[in-house]
A = this chain, B = another copy of it.
Amino acid sequence: MIIPRSHPRYLSLKTREQLVRANRSGIVVPEGLIAHGRGEAFDYILGERTRPSAEKAIEAAAALLLTAEKPVISVNGNTAALVPRELVRLARAVGGDVEVNLFHRGGDREKRIARTLRRSGASRVLGVGKEASGRIPGLESMRRKIDPSGIGDADVVFVPLEDGDRASALRRMGKKVIAVDLNPLSRTSRSANVTIVDNVTRALPLLNRQVRGLKRYNKRRLVRIVSGFNNEKNLIMAVKEIMSYLNKWNGV
C-alpha cells in the first residue's frame, strides 16, 4: 500500500475555513457544512483534480448555456460563500441572471447572499423575499420557492450543489438542468441534463473560460456539442475515474 500525500491539502483546508466563516456570518447553514464535507470526501477519491469526465461536462454546459433563450444561475449559501464572483461572471457571460435559491430559507439569509452577489458585481439578483413568489410543483414548503421571472421562466438552469428532489422537479417542469455535484451517484447527478462531477471552486473558473472560448461558435456548432453529450455515460466515466484512483491503494 502506497502512502498517499497527506490530506487535507492547503486548498481544501482554505475552502473549509471559508465555509466555516460563512457559517458564522449566517450565509451557510449547518446542513451546508455537512454537505460540503460529503463533497470533500468525493473530491478526495477523485484525487482533487478536474478529471476528463468533468472537462467534457464543462464543455457541454458552456454550449448549453450559450444556446439558452433564458439561462438562470441558481445560487445557494455554499456557492455564494465559495465562488460568488465566478457565478456573477457566468451569468453575465451567458446573458442570464443570478437567483438566490435556498433549500433552507429564513431570517435574512437570502438578503445576505444577495448582498454578497451584489458586492461580487451583480447588478440584479432574483429570488429575494417576495420576489420568490413562484413554486416548483411537487415540492413542499420553502424548498419550492422560485422567482417567476427567473427560474420560473428559464429554459436552462445552472444549479451547482443542488438537492436531488429539486433537480428532478426542475426537470419535470421541462427545464434543462446543469448541476455541479462531486457525487456521480447522487440523484442530482443522475437527474440533471449535464452533471459536472468536480469541485465548484475548480469547475467554475473552467466553465467561465469555456464559455469565453465557445462564444464565437455559431449556434449549429454549439447544438452539436450539446447533443453529442450523454450524461449517463459521462457519469459512468466519473465513477471509473474514482475507481482508478482507488485502485492505486488496492494493490500491495
Contacts and interface: CB of A to CB of B under 8 A. Distances in A.
Given A1-B232, A232-B1, A235-B1, A185 B34 contact: no
A186 interface: yes
Interface string A238-251: 01101100110111
Copies in the complex: 2
A140 to B, nearest CB: 15
Interface of A is mostly: helix
Contact of A3 (B7, B34, B183, B190): B190
B34 A40 contact: yes
Interface string A11-33: 00000100110011000001101
A4 to B, nearest CB: 6
A39 interface: yes
Contacts of A164: 6-7
Interface bin, chain A: 35 or more
Contact of A38 (B4, B38, B236): B38
Given A20-B31, A34-B34, A186-B7, A249 B239 contact: yes
A215 to B, nearest CB: 33
Contacts of A36: 34, 37
Contact of A239 (B40, B44, B250): B250
Contact of A249 (B6, B24, B39, B236): B236
A105 B54 CA distance: 39
A251 B7 CA distance: 30
A35 interface: yes
A120 B9 CA distance: 37
B41 A16 contact: no
Nearest to A21: B30
A112 interface: no
Contact of A236 (B1, B6, B19): B1
A158 interface: no
A190 B186 CA distance: 28
Interface in A125-159: none
Q: Which 8 A-B pairs have the closest CB atoms?
A: A37-B37, A41-B41, A33-B33, A34-B37, A38-B41, A37-B38, A20-B30, A33-B34
